[in-house]
Amino acid sequence: MTDTPFAAPTPTLLPIHQSDARFPVRRIYCVGRNYAEHAREMGHDPNREPPFFFTKPGDAATVSGRSLPFPPQTQNLHHEAELVVAIGGCGTDISPAEAEGLIWGYGAGNDLTRRDIQAKAKEMRRPWDMAKGFDHSAIIGALHAKDSLGDMTHGAIRATVNGDIRQSADLSEMIWPVDAVVAYLSRLVTLQPGDLVMTGTPAGVGQIKPGDTCAVEIEGLSPAVVSFR
């Protein structure tokens, strides 16, 4: 047995509301166009599409409250307010009724997007990983254990920039609710403890500039806040 040339990286650890424990992040799965009005504002028909997914690296997860350097190679950084589902069980090819058994908890999240890079990639029919999976591209508020929450099928979700409301909707407006999203995703990959599922954003996505502070707030959850310098 040979020694490795460097120490194995430690997983990103997210805070848990009212606990000293931390949630280790494994993978981040993101759902595209899961609110009808957002699908329409991006030029798509929400009535014709099953859920689709893209990913962010686990270490893209960034705790709320940080002041970050503005991401490189973009002139059009967008906020996307999202409900985050924290997976605490293992499952593959499960039904929506079984999905609840895999869910550990929930959080508020911001799926930051370099929209100009994404638009160029779409135009050239290339992958848009670098539009979504860059450093610090998933701002996550403190996670809440599901047992401490009510039914997360409804509740206000909004994003503000410098205090001005940009996105405002209700979780009940999701095209595919959480249990359906988790079940569908489990047909594509084996879900494992530590996985996060970002469940899509409502209409109103927009630009964040250097000097701005963006907050994502979801009823009953800790906010996901980030500022850029």
Write the CATH number for 209: 3.90.850.10
Q: Which of 31, 218, 57 is nearest to 136 (CA)?
A: 57
Q: Rounded mean pLDDT of 201-229?
A: 97
Classify residue 4: in a domain, yes or no. no
Classify residue 31: in a domain, yes or no. yes
Classify residue 42: in a domain, yes or no. yes
Classify residue 8: in a domain, yes or no. no
Cα–chain-centroid distance for residue 169? 16
Name the domain count of the chain.
1
Residue, of 17 and 1, whose pLDDT is higher: 17
For 214, the domain range is: 13-228
Classify residue 7: in a domain, yes or no. no
Read off the pLDDT of residues 153-196 as tens digits, 9 standing for 90 and up. 999 999 999 999 999 999 999 999 999 999 999 999 999 999 99
Nearest-angstrom CA–CA distance, 218 and 108: 6
Nearest-angstrom CA–CA distance, 23 and 86: 9
Classify residue 2: in a domain, yes or no. no
pTM over 0.75: yes
Classify residue 3: in a domain, yes or no. no
Q: Which of 18, 28, 46, 11 is nearest to 144 (CA)?
A: 18
Nearest-angstrom CA–CA distance, 189 and 215: 31
- CB neighbours of residue 119 within 10 Å: 13
Classify residue 65: in a domain, yes or no. yes
